[in-house]
Chain A
């Protein structure tokens, strides 16, 4: 496992058409790195380039398009790189190998590491608040239905959970009756969103509701949480890896 700190980045430049024992060179090198336990490697394909023989290879020229440049990159500790270089020189054939001093800012982690601590999820127990938001089904926020925008906003603001209910009949501020008629295309039923979380969390979220809901009613009431259970979340840390770390 590669840790943050000083490391060496190795770049190997090849031609797409070059082979090693009948297999494409890049896949032989990738296999070699994989089975030698290198923490990660990436194969990149160039769209154009030229090498030692000074012939231009571009993807537009059909006849030589199998000679496009290939670059393999991986980052490892200096000791590991020195261990691997001998065999790599042999594998790369006519290709070029370059090393570069680098610094790993944040190492990549396994996407499904079992011993990784789960991000702390706030547990709610006992006294809490319920927030109900009453709006119309046809209310919109920017380009989407308001109820959907509110659910997304709550999710983004870590509100513990929300459920959207649709009324079959109702009226609100304007005394207009919202009736859900089957086989009727333009629907404007009453929508109620119900969310449960701590007082602070919901108070924090209220200004966002105020900014999004032009017209509607928000109702807060005390509730008592009897049970709040959820499955452990599978964290995919690989998705958030960046800054020079290589993922395959």
Chain B
């Protein structure tokens, strides 16, 4: 099945060590997105970068580095993104949120498949 629609993409940049109520911020945001029924969210860990706090963040296989740059990308329709934004403003106190318009095409199997555990 193919479904085409206009959507918005949010990209939130912060650090891996950032916390929200004791939980890693990126996990907290993903959970919040699920609560609000946002279509999808993905967390990426960068290998190097710097951000608002101008700290250089590294992540390497050889060194344990708990503060790699994190980029969270969320895509959904405009109304849904609008519902999420106030929560993000509350949760992300140091970081950057970028928004862009995108065209989305969703492919799905026609029959409903039980999600794998």
Contacts and interface: CB of A to CB of B under 8 A. Distances in A.
B63 interface: no
A171 B103 contact: no
Given A210-B2, A213-B107, A218-B107, A173 B40 contact: yes
A217 B106 contact: yes
B78 interface: no
Interface size class of A (residues with CB under 8 A): 20 to 34
Which of B30, B107, B113 has most chain A Cβ within 10 Å?
Answer: B107
B101 interface: yes
A217 B75 contact: yes
A24 interface: no
Contacts of A188: 116
Nearest to A172: B40
A217 B4 CA distance: 10
B100 A221 contact: yes
Given A174-B113, A175-B115, A221-B102, A210 B41 contact: no
Nearest to A169: B43
B105 interface: yes
Interface string A165-180: 1111111111111000
A168 B45 contact: yes
Contacts of B34: 171, 175
B9 interface: yes
B45 to A, nearest CB: 5
Contacts of A219: 7, 9, 75, 102-105
Which of A174, A177, A192, A219 has most chain B Cβ within 10 Å?
Answer: A219
B34 to A, nearest CB: 6
A167 B115 contact: no
Contacts of B113: 174
A190 B26 CA distance: 15
A75 B47 CA distance: 56
B108 interface: yes
A171 B42 CA distance: 7
A176 B41 CA distance: 11
B44 interface: yes
Contacts of A206: 105
Contacts of B75: 134, 217, 219
A134 B115 contact: no
Contacts of A172: 39-40, 42
B106 A220 contact: no
Contact of A177 (B30, B100, B107, B109): B30
Interface of B: 2, 7, 9, 26-27, 30, 33-34, 39-45, 73, 75, 100-109, 113, 115-116
6 contacts: A168-B26, A169-B26, A210-B105, A214-B109, A220-B103, A221-B103
